[in-house]
Amino acid sequence: MHKPFSPLELLAVVERLTRNGSSLPTARPRVVGNGKDEELLLYAQDLRHLLAIERTQRALLEKSYLETVTALATALEWKDTGTHDHSQRVMRYALELMAVIDPDFVARDRGIEYGFLLHDVGKIGIPDQILKKPGPLTPDERTRMEQHTLLGEKMLAEVALLQGEGLHVVRSHHERWDGGGYPDGLRADETPLGARVSAVADALDAMTSNRPYRRALDWDVARDEIVAESGRQFDPVVVEAFHDCEPLLVAAYRETIAA
């Protein structure tokens, strides 16, 4: 007597075998009894084929999505004078930092990569006279500028690939370790990890890039400022990760200024 099988259970087995590099037999099996064994194996082979198609389609979708996201980030940088390639640099710095803190994090939540890239997307909704102002902002202008985190979250709230940590990055990358940030005044690890990482990456690029209101700081000056803000503006764990991967961050920085 054959034990009944669940298609979902079989699918899980096939996916696990495929993920681990195993292969299912492709030869047509010997018919046994009433042919149930053959039916089961053929069904498994069909599922394996469907899984391969689904993975290919998913990879193409993610590639297309990343291209679209990159185009959106580029459009933002055209609007925000003085931030050319800022989003790409922040993403690269943040991924290097995250690889030190939790090497498997990005694999578990691909949305965080898009969150790093689109962290400032809400600035699209900020008036140009504020965004491009060469001097200090007034208190009212500062309040309006700070709304970009909430605007960005609202813009991306329905994007499936950004749910989870990616959306947290967009909302919370200006929170501070000491609770003095915005928009929610979160303290310490109340702020999601991705946003704490993005805060350091964002500040690093802001300090080492030319802006309308000041020249770029030297790398050593920016590094010392980040270290000085450990436990105040920045998560000490992320600052420690900065130390650990600084050569990789410097290499990324030099590539961008040489481009």
* DSSP of 23-83: ----SPPPP-TTTHHHHHHHHHHHHHHHHHHHHHHHHHHHHHHHHHHHHHHHHHHHHSTT-
Q: Is residue 71 part of a domain?
A: no
> Sorting pLDDT into bands at 50, 70 and 90, what band is 32?
very low
Whether the CB-CB separation of 208 and 253 falls below 8 Å is answered with yes
Q: Is residue 140 part of a domain?
A: yes
The number of residues in the chain equals 259
Q: Are residues 49 and 132 in the same domain?
A: no
Q: Are residues 235 and 201 in the same domain?
A: yes
Q: Are residues 95 and 57 in the same domain?
A: no
Q: Is residue 173 part of a domain?
A: yes
Q: Are residues 10 and 113 in the same domain?
A: no
Residue-wise DSSP of 171-187: HHTT--TTS--SSS---
Q: Are residues 48 and 84 in the same domain?
A: no
Question: What is the rounded distance in angstroms from the CA atom of residue 97 to the CA atom of residue 93?
Answer: 6
* Helix or strand holding residue 116 (H, E): helix 111-117
Q: Give me the amino acid identity at 61.
A: L
Whether the CB-CB separation of 207 and 221 falls below 8 Å is answered with yes
Q: Is residue 72 part of a domain?
A: no
State the pLDDT at residue 88.
87
State the pLDDT at residue 29.
44
Q: Are residues 57 and 103 in the same domain?
A: no
Q: Are residues 27 and 86 in the same domain?
A: no
Q: Are residues 107 and 187 in the same domain?
A: yes
- 183-223 pLDDT, tens per residue? 999 999 999 999 999 999 999 999 998 876 678 899 999 99
In this prediction, residues 242-249 reach a mean pLDDT of 97
In this prediction, residues 41-63 reach a mean pLDDT of 71
Instruction: CATH number of the domain at 137, please.
Output: 1.10.3210.10
Q: Is residue 26 part of a domain?
A: yes
Q: Are residues 16 and 113 in the same domain?
A: no
Q: Is residue 198 part of a domain?
A: yes
User: What total of structural domains would you count in the chain?
Assistant: 2
Q: Is residue 174 part of a domain?
A: yes
Q: Are residues 193 and 231 in the same domain?
A: yes
Whether the CB-CB separation of 13 and 5 falls below 8 Å is answered with no
Q: Are residues 39 and 93 in the same domain?
A: no
State the pLDDT at residue 110.
85
Domain of 10? 1-64
* Helix or strand holding residue 20 (H, E): none
State the pLDDT at residue 144.
96
